[in-house]
Structures are given as C-alpha cells and as structure tokens.
Amino acid sequence: MAALFAATYEASAANIGLLRNQLAALARDCGLDDSTVGAVRLAVSEAATNALVHGYRGKGGMIRVEADLDEAELHIRVRDRGIGMEPRTDSPGLGLGLPVIASVADHVEVVQATPGTEVHMAFPCPVPPGRDGV
C-alpha cells in the first residue's frame, strides 16, 4: 500500500482544522462525493480531537496521520502517543467521538499503541481514471 498522505502535527485546535481540510481535499481527489467527503472531515476531526482532549488531556503532543488507497477504499489512520484509552470521570465531552466515527466510516478499528491510541477508518473510494489502482 503506497501512502497518499503522511504528516505529523502538533496536537492543537488550529491544526485539527488544518488536518480536517487536508484530508477532505485528499478525499475529493480520491473521487468521493460531497456527502462522503463530509463524512471524512467529521471522522478525522473527531479522531484528532480525541487525541488532543483525551490522549494528551490538552497538554500537547503530536498527532500522526496517514492515508492510503487499498482495493478502492481510502484508509486513514490517526495516532497519538498519549496516555491511551482510560476511563475519565472529568471528561469535557459527551463520549460520542468514536460512535460518530463509526456511524460515518465503512470500517473503524481502535488500536491501543504503546504508548497512545490509533484510530483506523476506511471509506469507499472510486479510483479516478489514470490512477491504475494506486
């Protein structure tokens, strides 16, 4: 699988917006319709926000994002090196990030890394002409 996109960002609200827009542009280039591009934007935003708010508890760190095509699916991975998935009684959110991602992506997998968490998402992606199944 050849990487279409790979980048590392400082975990910040401003960079989550940048990341969301970059992956939406990639999804458009992949041939996704507007509705699915919106789903990619939402899922990537939720995964990156979870890394910032829960993985790093707002104290900073890095978010790694990778995307590739495999058999006409766009695969996106968002990884932090934070504390991992731990119960949080002081959570500032409603705990809906992962269910939202699951509702808009074709496949979702949450992988506990050492350290941190990786969210894998897949979206159907028609391969544009001339790409020859990248």
Write down the pLDDT at residue 132.
Answer: 52
Write down the pLDDT at residue 2.
Answer: 59
Residue from 10, 2, 4 nearest 23 by CA: 4
Write down the pLDDT at residue 123.
Answer: 95
Architecture per CATH, domain 3-124, reads as 2-Layer Sandwich (3.30)
Write down the pLDDT at residue 94.
Answer: 55
Rounded CA-CA distance 30/126 in Å is 7
Q: Looking at the chain, how many residues does it have?
A: 134
Write down the pLDDT at residue 133.
Answer: 46
Rounded CA-CA distance 98/124 in Å is 19
Virtual CA dihedral for 47, 31, 68, 122, nearest 10 degrees? Answer: 50
Q: Which burial class, exposed, middle or buried, applies to 2 when counting CB atoms under 10 A from its CB (0-12, 13-18, 19+)?
A: exposed
Write down the pLDDT at residue 134.
Answer: 45
- The DSSP string of 38-96 is HHHHHHHHHHHHHIIIIISTTS--EEEEEEEEETTEEEEEEEE-SS-S---TT-SS-S-
pTM, entire model: 0.86
* pLDDT tens for the chain, residues 1 to 134: 557 899 999 999 899 999 999 999 999 988 899 999 999 999 999 999 999 988 898 788 999 999 998 878 999 999 999 987 766 666 666 567 889 999 999 999 999 988 999 999 999 987 654 555 44
